[in-house]
Structure 1
């Protein structure tokens, strides 16, 4: 790891990669906490993978790929939210259909784009080492939108996540805040695409928050711990990838997954010991 630390001080692309990991961790820590607590991982997965359709269309028409991803993510979030709120019957099937349709549209447009789409592949599988200064500005802007929205509507989102009936009694628009939450999930997906890629985005969105939930005190505590864990996972994964010449996105996810399994085993052993003593 000392080689990585030495290189970090010398090469700007590694510095950009480290900053990208830190910025992405803020968004995934905050919104991932809502996704885990609300148990909407499948909805988040539908949003994430349907984004490929917008990316493919943008790439075909030679437009910014992230712009296409952002439009597709927000559009899909609103559509999936509408489906979830108005068609609870067979919702998994409907969300799965949106998931598959988005990916199929993306694949069709990618197949019709001349040449080898190496740039688009970096969005699918992540290429944190290719993050530019412009990407960092975009990520910082998305983080600011996410954090400010959560600060302003923290109580409303909290009540909506934990008790929708109570929220309605308090005259809180459950529909509005549910759709707002899904839109923030969409922004976070776009935030994470450059770091771990579209294929692995759900893992980084949920694993840090899932670990933090095991030691939960409050939702704000989960957000803070999840953000810190995300920073640790991205930094460690990036260091391992550099040292051993491995894909950075996959390395980050494996570090996060290993940490989740270790934490789960630790919690289970504590609970088992506690039950044996009572």
Structure 2
């Protein structure tokens, strides 16, 4: 198949659109995750979603919907337990991470027969993304963009220094819980791209790469959207021609981009001061 012929296929067009909107959503929410140092929370929520998927398969309901409800409740639970109950944040993450995985495994085992789509959620398959998935990601991208435009200063204050934000009379708890909600929703809607196992990288690696060149919150966010999309497109094309799993190769391409940028900054000629 010729290179340009790929664009004639609906599944490939869907994959490109899904990559674009997922990159926007993960770029916006992932910047908050990295700056606020919530990487392991996002990993905990990602793996907790398996509980919702297993419950959805067992009850015969939409697994994405059940995973979203389960993930949002887990995100709120982690936030509440770590801030109100005197439990260390890493311990709270471990509890909900293990709970979600355990619940998912139990209900998948109890389901008669094999859950045929489970591997797509675990490891991702961007070529199977549907128009409804694209619509949900597009709506999420628009909502996140508007939310950031309206509450940009509040989000940045909370991300960098929540104590200082309180002195500015910013509703820190409201922002924190709302961002946790968006983290959970973004994770669940992006699972079909790279899967539960690798999704944490999509929320962190583009931001890490952008942070090599700038410390400005907005610039990191915009650059991570571009880097995320380039990684998705590069991984998509490479996985097709090399006949390897698309989800894994998207993350591989993103990490290669990070390493190339890191090496470039390490070995670029330093400017001499005259």
TM superposition score category, shorter chain reference: over 0.9
Q: CA deviation at 1:266?
A: 2.7
Cα distance in 2 for partners of 1:121, 1:138 equals 21
Q: CA deviation at 1:89?
A: 4.8
Query: In terms of mean alpha carbon deviation, does 25-34 or 115-124 score higher?
Result: 115-124
Cα distance in 2 for partners of 1:76, 1:265 equals 38
Q: CA deviation at 1:233?
A: 0.5
Aligned to 1:7: 6
1:158 and 2:170 correspond: no
Q: CA deviation at 1:88?
A: 5.5
Cα distance in 2 for partners of 1:30, 1:4 equals 31
Aligned to 1:82: 80
Query: In terms of mean alpha carbon deviation, does 256-265 or 246-255 score higher?
Result: 256-265
State which of 158, 164, 167 in structure 1 corresponds to 2:165: 167
Contact 1:23–1:140, Cα closer than 8 Å, also in 2:
yes
Cα distance in 2 for partners of 1:89, 1:76 equals 15
Q: CA deviation at 1:273?
A: 5.2
Q: Which is helix-richer, 1 or 2?
A: 1
Query: In terms of mean alpha carbon deviation, does 239-248 or 259-268 score higher?
Result: 259-268
Cα distance in 1 for partners of 2:3, 2:198 equals 24
What SS is found at the alignment partner of 1:118?
A: coil
Partner deviation per Cα, 1:197-247 (whole Å, 9 max, x = no partner): 111110011100111111115211111110011110000100001111110
Q: State the aligned residue count.
A: 274
Structure 1 residues 82 and 269, CA gap change in structure 2 (3 angstroms): farther
After TM superposition, the score normalised by the length of structure 2 is 0.94
1:182 and 2:174 correspond: no
Aligned to 2:100: 102
Question: What's the C-alpha RMSD, in Å, of the aligned pairs?
Answer: 1.9
Aligned to 1:205: 203
Partner deviation per Cα, 1:182-207 (whole Å, 9 max, x = no partner): 11111210121011111111001110
Cα distance in 2 for partners of 1:107, 1:225 equals 37
Alignment of 1:222-233 (within 5 A): 222-233=220-231
Contact 2:209–2:261, Cα closer than 8 Å, also in 1:
yes
Contact 2:133–2:189, Cα closer than 8 Å, also in 1:
no
Q: CA deviation at 1:64?
A: 0.5
Cα distance in 2 for partners of 1:4, 1:34 equals 37
Partner deviation per Cα, 1:141-188 (whole Å, 9 max, x = no partner): 222222222222111111011122221111112222111111111121
Q: CA deviation at 1:87?
A: 4.5
Partner deviation per Cα, 1:72-128 (whole Å, 9 max, x = no partner): 121111111112322455321221111011011001101111222121221111111
Contact 1:85–1:175, Cα closer than 8 Å, also in 2:
no
Contact 1:27–1:191, Cα closer than 8 Å, also in 2:
no
Aligned to 1:119: 117
Partner deviation per Cα, 1:5-48 (whole Å, 9 max, x = no partner): 3222x211111111111110001111111111111101111111
